Amino acid sequence: MTTDQWTATTDKPVVIGVHVNENTMREPNPHIPWTPDEIAQTARACEDAGASVMHFHGRTVDGGADHSAATYGAIIERVRAVSNLLLAPSMANVPGRTVDERLANLAPNQTNPNTRSDFLVIDMGCAAMDLIDSKTGHYVTDSAVFVNDTRTQIELLSRAAELGMAPYLTSFNVSWTRAIVAHARSQSLALPLVVAFILGGDEFPAAHPATVAGVRAQLDLLPPDLPMEWIVSAYRGNVLAAAEESIRRGGHVAIGAGDYHYAELGHPSTPDLVKEVAAIARRYGREPATPDQARRILGVDVHASR
C-alpha cells in the first residue's frame, strides 16, 4: 500500500519508529537498553505505546559495541517472541570494513524467520561525523569521516534485494536525498521508497538542523512523481517540532532515548517518547500505525518478494 491509496492524509496512520540505544550510555538518561532481554522489553513497551518499527545496535552488558551475528540474532529472536515490531537494525558500521564485513552481523540471520530483519539501513552519502561539545561549542574530534560512496550504495541496494530486506534509506541532507532519487530512477527500485530524514541537534552539524525549517528543506524538494514514505528523526536533538511538521504533511516519525536524552522532558524512556508522538499524531486526526499497517504503508512485503 502506498500513500496515494489512502483517501486523505488524515486517513493514513503514522508510522512511529524507535531508536532505542544507538551508541548511547546511561548517563544522564538511564532508560537505554543494552542486552537482548532489555531490548525486547523495550520493544514490547514501545509497541504498546504506538510504535511499529525499531532500530537498534548490538551492545555488550556494559554498553560497548557488539557487532556479532550471534548477538544480533539473540536480540531479534527475543524481540520477535514478545513483539510484532518491524526491525531495522544497524549494520556493523566500523570504518574501513568492506560491505561483506558490515553485513556480517545481519546476513547469517536472514535464513531464519525468528532472527531475520525486515529492513537494511543504508546511509546514502558521506559525512564528517565529528560532534560539537554543547558546553564549549568546540569540536570534540576533527577526523571522524563516514564513507558511503556511490559504489557502496549500489552494492548495498543489491545486497538488500538478495537478502530479502527492504531498503531503509537514510539522508542527512539534500545531497543524500538527491542521490536516493537518482538511484530510484536509474535502478527502478521497488516503491514506495522508505526514506529516513535524520536531522541533527546542535552537537551534530553533519545533518540538517532538528527544526521545522530543517525538515522542510528536505520535504520541499521531494519529486512529486516518486512514491515515498518518509520518517523524520533527530540525532543529538529534540525531534518533536520537526515531528509535528512531518505528521502534518503526511509523513512519519522516529524517536528514542538512544538519539537524545530529552533532559527538558525529565529524561523519559523511549516508550514515553512514543506516547508524545502518538499524541501529536492524534491532534492531526491520525492514529499510530500498527506493525501490520506499517508493513503495508512502507511496502515491506513488496521489497522482500523482489
Please report the pLDDT score of residue 5 as a whole number: 53
Please report the pLDDT score of residue 4 as a whole number: 44
Q: Is the pLDDT of residue 305 over 50?
A: no
Q: Residues near 16 by Cβ (< 8 Å), separated by ≥ 6? A: 50, 51, 52, 53, 252, 253, 254, 255, 274, 277, 278, 281, 288, 289
What confidence tens digit (pLDDT) does each residue in 11-39 have? Answer: 899 999 999 999 999 999 999 999 999 99
Please report the pLDDT score of residue 302 as a whole number: 61
Please report the pLDDT score of residue 28 as a whole number: 94
What confidence tens digit (pLDDT) does each residue in 119-133 have? Answer: 999 999 999 999 999
Q: Is the pLDDT of residue 231 over 90?
A: yes
- What is the pLDDT confidence band of residue 95, given thresholds at 50, 70 and 90? confident
Please report the pLDDT score of residue 301 as a whole number: 81
For the chain, the structural domain boundaries read 3-304
- Top pLDDT among 7 and 22 is at 22
Question: If you write DSSP's letter for every residue of the chain in order, what string do you get?
Answer: --GGGSSSGGGSPBPEEEE--TT--SSS------SHHHHHHHHHHHHHHT--EEE---B-TTS-B---HHHHHHHHHHHHHH---EE-PPP---TT--HHHHHTTTGGGTTSTTT--SEEEEE-S-EE---B-TTT-SBS-S--EE---HHHHHHHHHHHHHHT-EEEEEESSHHHHHHHHHHHHHHT--SSEEEEEEEE-TT-TTS-BSSHHHHHHHHTTS-TTS-EEEEEEEESS--HHHHHHHHHTT-EEEE-TTT---GGGTS--HHHHHHHHHHHHHHTT-PBPPHHHHHHHTTHHHHHT-
This model's pTM is above 0.75: yes
Measured on CA atoms in the order 81, 74, 230, 120, is the torsion positive or negative?
Answer: negative
What confidence tens digit (pLDDT) does each residue in 104-162 have? Answer: 999 999 999 999 999 999 999 999 999 999 899 999 999 999 999 999 999 999 999 99
Percent of the chain predicted with pLDDT > 70: 95
CATH of 3-304, one of 1.10.1040.50, 2.10.25.10, 3.20.20.70, 3.40.50.970: 3.20.20.70
Q: Is the pLDDT of residue 8 over 80?
A: no
CA distance 239 to 253: 8
Please report the pLDDT score of residue 11 as a whole number: 86
Distances (CA, A) of 125 to 64, 148, 226, 269: 26, 5, 20, 31
Q: Are the C-beta atoms of 259 and 235 separated by less than 8 Å?
A: yes
Q: Radius of gyration over alpha carbons of the chain, in Å?
A: 18
